[in-house]
Amino acid sequence: MATAVKKTTDTKSIKPASPDNVKKAVAMGKEMSKEKDNSKADVARSMYGTLHEESKEMIIKAFIDGASLTLKGAGYQAIGFQYPHLKPGTKSVKGGSMRPMSMLMLAMMLLVSPLLAAPAPWYKWQSKIDGKVFCAQTSPGDGWRRLSGSYKDLRCQKPVREKSVQRFGSE
């Protein structure tokens, strides 16, 4: 028979390294929270300057008490301050801002994209003025209408199978 383990957080057993600093940070957070211009993240950021030497658990508890953050929000803020290289968009200790997996995905996309590209098809164009036929990939201008299309070569002799010509919006 399996027994469920209940996860509890006993905040009373957490002992601050500097109780005076924790009290000061919580009081500062409560005071800053009264001002409408300050977000909870701004309050936590200001509190962290005083709490940076405390344990992660103590910082989270102080953020909950002083900045009125939820447990989840306080945890995210604490991790963001203690490990700034884990926050998206910030410079890491190594100097990069992208995670290794993102870099790998970007490299794979750049390597595969040329393989998916196909040359533009050629079309026969007829002049509206004198009826001359011309082969081009794009319209030569307003005085021309498309006769037939989808050729592989510039002489418009080798037709392209319709399945190989893919357009956006078609299935």
Question: How do the pLDDT tens digits run along the chain, 171 residues long?
Answer: 444 434 445 556 778 888 898 899 889 888 888 888 888 888 888 888 888 788 888 888 888 888 888 887 777 777 777 665 444 444 444 455 557 788 888 888 888 887 777 888 999 999 999 999 989 999 899 999 998 878 988 889 999 876 544 555 544
| 171 in a structural domain | no
| 104 in a structural domain | no
CA dist 170 and 148 (Å) reads 19
Shared domain check, 131 and 80? no
| 8 in a structural domain | no
pLDDT score of 3: 45
User: How many structural domains is the chain composed of?
Assistant: 2
- Angle (CA) 165-166-171 rounded to 5° is 130
- DSSP letter, residue 33: H
| 74 in a structural domain | yes
pLDDT score of 132: 93
> Is the backbone of residue 169 left (phi > 0), alpha (psi -120 to 50) or beta?
left
CA dist 132 and 83 (Å) reads 70
| 113 in a structural domain | no
| 94 in a structural domain | no
Q: Which two tokens stand for residue 8?
A: 């509890």
pLDDT score of 166: 53
Shared domain check, 77 and 23? yes
pLDDT score of 122: 92
Taking residue 62's Cβ as centre, other Cβ atoms within 10 Å add up to 28
| 112 in a structural domain | no
Structural domain for 50, as ranges: 14-86
